[in-house]
A and B are shown apart, each in its own frame.
Chain A
Amino acid sequence: MLEKALYGSKGYYVWILLLLGLIGLGSIAYYTQLTQGLKITGMSRDVSWGFYIAQFTYLVGVAASAVMLVLPYYFHHYKAFSKMIILGEFMAISAVSMCMLFIVVDLGQPQRLLNVILHPTPNSILFWDMVVLNGYLFLNIVIGWTTLQAERKGVTPASWVKPLVYLSVIWAFSIHTVTAFLYAGIPGRHYWLTAIMAARFLASAFCSGPAILLLLALLLRRLTKYDPGKEAIQSLAKIITYAMCVNVFFFGLELFTSFYSNIPGHMHPFTYLFFGLEGHGALVPFMWAAVVMAIGCLVLLIPPALRNNENILVPALLMLVGASWIDKGLALLVAGFVPNMFERVTEYAPTIPELAIAMMVYATGALILTVLWKVAISVKKEIA
Chain B
Amino acid sequence: MGINRREFLKIVGISAVAGLGGATAVDLLRRAPVEASQASPNPKALTAKRWAMVIDTRKLTEADCQRMIEACHRVHNVPDIGTKQEVKWIWTEEYEHAFPDDMNEFVSDEVKHKPFLMLCNHCDQPACVRVCPTKATFKRADGIVMMDMHRCIGCRFCMAACPFGARSFNFGDPRPYVKEENRKYPTRMRGVVEKCTFCTERLEEGLMPACVEVSNGALIFGDLDDPNSEVRQALRSNYSIRRKPNLGTQPCVYYIV
A→B interface (CB under 8 Å): 36-39, 41, 43-46, 48-49, 103, 106-110, 112-113, 115-116, 118-119, 121, 123-127, 130, 182, 185-189, 264-265, 336-337, 340-344, 346
Contacts and interface: CB of A to CB of B under 8 A. Distances in A.
Contact of A48 (B134, B156, B249): B156
B155 interface: yes
A340 to B, nearest CB: 6
Contacts of B134: 112, 115-116, 118-119, 121, 124
B190 interface: yes
Best-buried of A48, A130, A337 by chain B (most CB within 10 Å):
A48
Interface stretch (B47-55, B125-133, B204-212): B125-133
B162 interface: yes
A37 B153 contact: no
Interface stretch (B2-10, B97-105, B178-186, B226-234): B97-105
B70 interface: no
B172 A37 contact: yes
Interface string B139-173: 00000000000011111110111111100111111
A123 B157 CA distance: 13
B93 interface: yes
Best-buried of A39, A123, A130, A182 by chain B (most CB within 10 Å):
A39
Given A37-B191, A45-B84, A186 B131 contact: yes
A109 B244 contact: no
A121 B132 contact: yes
Given A37-B173, A188-B244, A342 B165 contact: yes
B173 A342 contact: no
Nearest to B174: A37
8 smallest CB-CB distances across A and B, nearest first, come from A108-B154, A108-B191, A188-B163, A39-B172, A37-B190, A341-B165, A44-B84, A39-B171
25 contacts: A37-B170, A37-B171, A43-B85, A45-B84, A45-B85, A45-B87, A46-B165, A107-B155, A109-B152, A109-B153, A112-B153, A116-B134, A119-B134, A121-B135, A125-B131, A182-B157, A186-B160, A187-B161, A187-B163, A188-B162, A336-B160, A340-B165, A341-B164, A342-B100, A346-B84
Nearest to B127: A187
Nearest to B94: A342
B172 A188 contact: no
A187 B135 contact: no
Nearest to B131: A124
Interface in B191-206: 191-193
A45 B168 contact: yes
Contacts of A337: 160
Given A124-B133, A342-B100, A343-B100, A115 B160 contact: no
Interface of B: 83-88, 93, 96-98, 100-101, 103, 127, 130-136, 151-157, 159-165, 168-173, 190-193, 244, 247-249
Given A44-B85, A108-B153, A342-B93, A115 B136 contact: yes
A341 B157 contact: no
Given A45-B85, A107-B154, A112-B153, A36 B93 contact: no
Contacts of A38: 154, 169, 171-172, 190-191
Majority SS at the chain A contact face? loop
B210 to A, nearest CB: 22
Contacts of B160: 48-49, 186, 189, 336-337
Nearest to B154: A108
Majority SS at the chain B contact face? loop
Nearest to B84: A44
Contacts of A124: 130-134, 157
A126 B84 contact: no
Contact of A36 (B100, B172, B249): B172
A110 B190 CA distance: 11
A46 B84 CA distance: 8
Contacts of A264: 103
A115 B88 CA distance: 26
Contact of A109 (B93, B96, B154, B172): B154
B151 A116 contact: no
A283 B195 CA distance: 31
A105 to B, nearest CB: 11
Contact of B130 (A41, A123, A182): A123
Contacts of A46: 84, 165
B85 A116 contact: no
A127 B153 CA distance: 13
B155 to A, nearest CB: 6
B71 to A, nearest CB: 21
A107 B83 CA distance: 21
Given A48-B160, A113-B153, A186-B127, A130 B165 contact: no
A340 B84 CA distance: 13
A342 B155 contact: no
Contacts of B190: 36-39, 108
A336 B84 CA distance: 17
Nearest to A122: B133
Contacts of B165: 45-46, 340-342
Contacts of A265: 100-101
Contacts of A112: 134, 151-154
Contacts of A109: 152-154, 191-192
Contacts of B248: 187
A253 B223 CA distance: 46
Given A39-B172, A49-B160, A124-B157, 6 more contacts: A37-B171, A103-B155, A106-B155, A115-B153, A126-B157, A185-B131
A116 B153 contact: yes
